[in-house]
Amino acid sequence: MAVPKSRRTKSKRNMRRAHIFLKKPNLIICSKCGKKILPHTVCWNCGSYKDREIIDVLGKLERKERKVREKEIRAKEKEDTKKEKPLTLKELSKK
């Protein structure tokens, strides 16, 4: 029967366990709604994948939830339209 020659020290034990830990998931931002999602998956919030609507998320929601979600989508679209490109020096001097 195998018996260890000597006791493993705390240092050796901890070095062995150095790679045993939870890693943060690699998240990306959805191009349509801006929520964080896992890469190469359909967005759970808006149902889009690669800028195409795959799942009709609003169709599966109840009436109250649908209104809230539509309001969020409209607010997001307004934010996108408000964003303007930064002014150059020539444009600043004209104003």
The four Cα atoms 7, 12, 18, 19 give a dihedral, to 10 degrees, of -70
pLDDT of 33: 82
pLDDT tens per residue, range 66-76: 788 888 888 88
Q: What is the pLDDT of residues 7-65, one digit of tens each?
A: 999 999 999 999 999 988 899 998 888 889 999 999 888 888 888 888 887 777 777 78
Higher pLDDT, 85 or 54: 54
Picking from 76, 56, 79, 81, the residue whose alpha carbon sits closest to that of residue 66 is 56
CA–CA gap between residue 58 and residue 65 (Å, rounded): 8
For residues 26 and 39, is the Cβ–Cβ distance under 8 A?
yes
**What's the pLDDT score for residue 82?**
67
